[in-house]
Chain A
Amino acid sequence: MYGRTGLVLLVVVAAIVWILPSYYTGLLTLIGLYALVTIGLNLFMGYAGQVSLGQAAFFGVGAYTSATFAVKANITPWLGMVLGAIVAALVAYALSFVALRLRENLLALATLALGIVINVVFNQWDFIGGTSGLKDIPGFTIGSFTFDQRAYAILAWALVAVGIWFAGNLVRSSFGRSLIAISAGELGAQALGVHSERLKRQTFVLSAVYAGAAGAIYASQASYIDPTSFSFLLSVNFVLMSVIGGLRSLWGAVIGATVVVALGQILQNVVPVVLPSARGDFQSFFLGVILIAMLILLPRGITSRLSEARRA
């Protein structure tokens, strides 16, 4: 079901990019990449019941890995994408030994802190550009064809289709059910022999793989990255996407990413007209308010309302 619908989405994207202005095609790519990150995040937060406030860091690790290999060693972004996913996975694996011992409050704090430490590394490590970042990152190519905005959108959504297919299989298997059991009653699950830490670790690493691969594409598509692209605010955005779509929902990730990106566009265009003094990342005010309002009014996300409507 997930796989087929993902494929349909991919076909739709591949069709509409030919009529969409290139600016909007770029946004479509961004939505796809964010959706990919959020699918991984939903596995970790929604299904396994954990918290990550540092997901932007894995996105950044993927972006920096691919970009650095491409800029410094002229390695193709195709390989860079795989390397980005692998390095993000390794970082997540190492961090999991710290983070996964903790619960709720402290886990949130630890992932937030680790995300910022990774951002400090981006800032301080001159080899990967330091504060000024990396410029002129080579794009994806097939033979002599260098990717344009359309090709990036199709690539991003192809990955979304694969990602949601894999995650969909996962959540309907014993693996996904064990995660739900862990989130509902970890000790009860452990008493049945469910190795909760091992399952949580695999999920955390998988979420980093999703984020890392998405980050690698982002680097090539944007052709320029610096540490501010992967800040704490982006992590909050990912949380918002999760919450808006519904934490325990895979399509919710796609919906959440779409809503947040669209909202960002609307705010960017409307607010300065109404309030000429608005500068900087003033959207964060609205993001915060929407996040709070969602959690109070619709804590299980938009998709919970949709599925209720379907049942009724």
Chain B
Amino acid sequence: MTAIPVATATLEVRSVTMRFGGVLAVDDVSFSARTGEVLGVMGPNGAGKTTLFNVISGVQRPTSGDVSLRGVRLTGRSVEDVASCGVTRTFQTPVMFWGLTVRESVEVALAAREFGGTYPPAPLRELAPCGLGSPGRRHAQAALRERADVLLAGAGIAAMADRATESLAFGEERLLELARALAVEPTVLLLDEPLSGLNPDEVDAVIASIRAARTDGVAVLLVEHAVGELLSVADRVVVLDHGRMIAEGLPAQVAADPVVIDAYIGDELE
């Protein structure tokens, strides 16, 4: 196991426990993620990976323990507040904004940051300028559009920009969801099985996006069932089994760890 100096840690998960009735979905898990690294989160089905993501992103409140970002406590905040702090996520089943085009979906993500803050009061900041169609607002709208196009080009899906989200294939939905998440310029990005259901080209595109995000200094947490891809893209790996963290280390170390092979990779190979 590698010890991580606290100073370089971005996201800190401390003794998080999540109990549903009598079931311990996550049992006293602690780890941290650093800027500019891809942290793989491995484990067989029901190991507690998605629950862990739910806790980090504020969807669920842990029974005990807490999560903090650069010393700022995230636990207890709402999902949108956690996102405003710089932690965003994707979902196992992509969430699409039906009724919007691809570009507009990205604009929503970009506008969410713009609408942040506390002064002036929300109606004067959001409702009034948008409804009155003020010149400033129109400029901002045009700027959003440009930035959205840049992001879509970066994700390699510029050609989809004007398509309705209802018309996307599954793989395209994943690519859009990732582009949308990157639009909020996250400090920490949680990806829940971003490769499942993709064709090889799309897999390459997603992996390229993940590597690019890492270069930009994002801490990427990656849950993925495709163990080969996960080990090749991750800088470091934590392994969960039945809610407990059973290993942590470099991909090569973890892959060779008999405990891990026993609990997880062994299952997969059989």
Contacts and interface: CB of A to CB of B under 8 A. Distances in A.
Q: Do A and B bind each other?
A: yes
A193 B80 contact: yes
Contacts of A175: 126-127, 130-131
A274 interface: no
B206 interface: no
A109 B41 CA distance: 42
B114 A188 contact: no
Interface stretch (A24-32, A59-67, A177-185, A223-231): A177-185
Given A193-B80, A202-B122, A202-B123, A178 B108 contact: yes
A188 B137 contact: no
Contacts of A193: 80, 83-84, 88, 109, 112-113, 116, 184
Given A190-B80, A193-B116, A169 B97 contact: no
Interface in A283-305: none
Contacts of B75: none
A4 interface: no
A198 interface: yes
Contacts of A167: 131
B100 interface: yes
Contacts, number: 121
B137 A181 contact: no
Given A166-B131, A190-B78, A202 B126 contact: yes
Interface string B165-209: 000000000000100110110000000000000000000000000
Contacts of A212: none
Nearest to B88: A191
Contacts of B71: none
B54 to A, nearest CB: 10
A177 B113 contact: no
B112 A192 contact: yes
Contacts of B31: none
A169 B80 contact: no
A177 B111 contact: yes
B180 A170 contact: no
B111 A248 contact: no
B96 interface: yes
B100 A180 contact: yes
Contacts of A183: 99
A252 interface: no
A170 B107 CA distance: 15
Nearest to A173: B130
Interface in B72-125: 78-80, 83-84, 88-91, 95-100, 104-105, 107-109, 111-116, 122-123
A170 B127 contact: yes
Nearest to A180: B99
B59 to A, nearest CB: 7
* Listed residue (B100, B105, B130) with the most chain A CB atoms within 10 angstroms of its CB: B130
A215 interface: no
B132 interface: yes
Contact of B97 (A185, A195, A199, A202): A185
Interface string A264-287: 000000000000000000000000
A184 B112 CA distance: 16
A202 B141 CA distance: 20
Given A174-B108, A178-B112, A192 B130 contact: no
Contacts of A259: none
Nearest to B99: A180
Contacts of A185: 95-97
A180 B122 CA distance: 18
B141 A187 contact: no
A176 interface: yes
Nearest to A174: B111
A173 B100 contact: no
B107 A192 contact: no
Contacts of A184: 95-100
A177 B78 CA distance: 21
B57 interface: yes
A95 interface: no
* Listed residue (A180, A193, A248) with the most chain B CB atoms within 10 angstroms of its CB: A193
B79 A190 contact: yes
Nearest to A163: B131
A9 interface: no
Given A173-B130, A175-B126, A180 B97 contact: yes
Query: What are the 6 A-B residue pairs with the smallest beta carbon separation, nearest first?
Result: A188-B95, A174-B111, A193-B83, A173-B130, A185-B95, A169-B133
Interface of B: 57, 59, 78-80, 83-84, 88-91, 95-100, 104-105, 107-109, 111-116, 122-123, 126-127, 130-133, 137, 140-141, 144, 177, 180-181, 183-184
Given A174-B111, A187-B95, 6 more contacts: A169-B131, A173-B137, A174-B130, A184-B96, A192-B180, A198-B126
5 contacts: A178-B112, A181-B100, A187-B59, A191-B57, A202-B122
